[in-house]
Amino acid sequence: MQHYKVAVIIGRHQISHAGHELLKQRALEIADQVVIIIGSAFQARSPKNPFNWRERREMILSTLTEAEKQRVFCCPIRDYYNDEKWNAEVKRIVNEYSKQDIVLVGHKKVADKDTYYLDNFGNWAYIGIESIYKINASQIREIYFEAKDIDDSLASVNDLILPSVKQFLKAWRLKPEYSELVKEHRKLKQEKALWKNSPYDVIFSTADAIVKVNEHILLGKRKYYPGRGLWAIPGGFIEQHETILHATLRELKEETQIALSNKTILQGLKSVKVFDHPNRSYRGRFITHAHFFELSGEDVPDIQAADDLELVAWIPVKKLSCMEEQLFEDHYHILNQFLEIKNG
């Protein structure tokens, strides 16, 4: 068996399960060090991404011996919604451990389009692991968020989750974040049920307004699930009778009551970009048209929360780099496209 300096494992690990364990054990067998790239690392909590990357690292390390922990390194990576940038960042992280004798260890799921990234690292060796388990992580999360008796619920996936991970899940269930995500999970199921019998794949179109004044950005805190309590760019669904630009202005006015005429706002329109990554929203297939307005003046216009927002505020651009985990879905990424936020 060939031996390597570094074995790489890439995954979200939401929740860490027996399939991940197979990858880890094989990686430990064939390499001096194991680098686990934890994806979607800085997303706000949601039923799809309930645990922050540090909690996922805790789950991963809890399944290892003390000797194994000395050889395993968990590294976070954000979602860039851009394969080229994401691939480059993965390589940069791994190169900090070694620039040669690298092997990627993974499991390609035939029916899962999300594992295509395993083909993006042609300079590394690759070892594919055939899983002996039939595991769907989303189903495990569903069991977790619908549990009435946590012991009985986790017993139903007894062969798929190691005891240390079960203990983590039981303890985490006592946190207030769990009860919030349970409510959000229920709301998402209700919304998706509305479209369950549609004869076609449902694709939603939305419009967003990024408004910048004197190095401040207008953001709103969401009032309802999904995403209750998270900061978001003002925007919403495009109605059948209106253009995308009209929807952008309407939603901006409805949600923020910004004290400016449409004519004044339009004078500041700098660019429009479409954000259509298939995984940008955990609610379903959402395509949004983001309009960037940069308005003149030293004083920010008056605003007041309305409609779907409980609070609106002018946020200094320099503070956005610290707000990634507080922003709804991919809104940090959208802001970054227009503002080039300096990530830490």
pLDDT digits (tens, 9 = 90+) for 167-205: 999 999 999 999 999 999 999 999 999 999 999 999 999
Tell me what the pLDDT averaged over the chain comes to: 94
Mean pLDDT in residue range 214-225:
97
pLDDT digits (tens, 9 = 90+) for 63-72: 999 999 999 9
Question: Which domains are seen in the chain, by residue range?
Answer: 4-134 (3.40.50.620), 203-339 (3.90.79.10)
Asked if residue 98 has pLDDT above 60, the reply is yes
Asked if residue 111 has pLDDT above 60, the reply is no
Residue 256: pLDDT band (50, 70, 90) is very high
Residue 134: pLDDT band (50, 70, 90) is confident
Buried b (16+ CB within 10 A) or exposed e, 15-37: bbbbbbbbbbebbbebbebbbbb
**What is the structure's pLDDT at 18?**
92
The helix-helix angle for 53-62 and 163-172 (nearest 10°) equals 150
**What is the structure's pLDDT at 319?**
97
The half-sphere exposure of 332 on its side-chain side, counting CA atoms within 13 A, is 25
Say how far residue 32 (Cα) sits from the centre of its chain.
31
Give the residue among 49, 11, 47 at the shortest CA–CA distance from 143: 47
pLDDT digits (tens, 9 = 90+) for 306-338: 999 999 999 999 999 999 999 999 999 999 999
Asked if residue 113 has pLDDT above 70, the reply is no
Global pTM? 0.92
**What is the structure's pLDDT at 136?**
81
**What is the structure's pLDDT at 212?**
98
Q: 300: how many CB neighbours lie within 10 A of its CB?
A: 19
